[in-house]
Amino acid sequence: MSVEQPFWHKPLTQMTEQEWEALCDGCGKCCLNKLIDDDTEEVYFTNVACQLLNDKTCECSRYDTRFNYVPDCYKVTPDNVGTIAWLPTSCAYRRLHEGRGLPSWHHLVAGNKSQMHKQGMSVRRKVLSELEVGPDPDLFGFIVLWPLDDLD
């Protein structure tokens, strides 16, 4: 008798849309405003989040219709995940694409999202909404290092 492997062990391109969506950490790091150096392509995360991000649940308040409100929001897919340099190293999509597996704090491994928040892997209570900083802020003053944390 064989034991069926969890869906996240199969190739990303073979996952259903529902399985793909379930992989999302729900950390909110991809919703942070980022600066990218034109010369080096180095990514700098800020603690300024998309106006649609709920900083307590770390979820998009209008996920299904987000492109109506934020036209430059980016949809991560199995086909483009390897080309998105700004995904944090802790991102489940990136980790699986790179063959690193899910971390112990991921909700599919831990059973809920509380471990992610307890270990500081989410944006919970660490961010400002872009509505709070006003239009065209100088984001250099908001650069932070914590989104680069990757605990296992």
* pLDDT single digits (tens) 62-110: 999 999 999 999 999 999 999 999 999 999 999 999 999 999 999 999 9
pLDDT band at 135 (very low <50, low <70, confident <90, very high): confident
- Cα 92 to Cα 95: distance, rounded to the nearest angstrom: 5
pLDDT given for residue 1 in this prediction: 59
* pLDDT > 90? residue 142: yes
Residue 45 in contact with residue 88, Cβ under 8 Å? yes
Query: What value does the mean pLDDT of the chain take?
Result: 94
* Contact partners, residue 117, CB within 8 Å, separation at least 6: 58, 124
Select from 104, 67, 66, 84 the least CA-distant residue to 30.
84
Residue 149, pLDDT score = 82
Strands (E), 29-152: 32-36, 43-49, 53-54, 59-60, 128-129
In percent, how much of the chain has pLDDT > 90?
Answer: 91
Cβ contacts of residue 20 below 8 Å, gap of 6+? Answer: 12, 77, 78
pLDDT confidence of residue 150: 80
d(CA 146, CA 15): 30
Q: Average pLDDT in the 133-146 region?
A: 92
CA–CA distance, 39 with 43 (Å, rounded to integer): 11
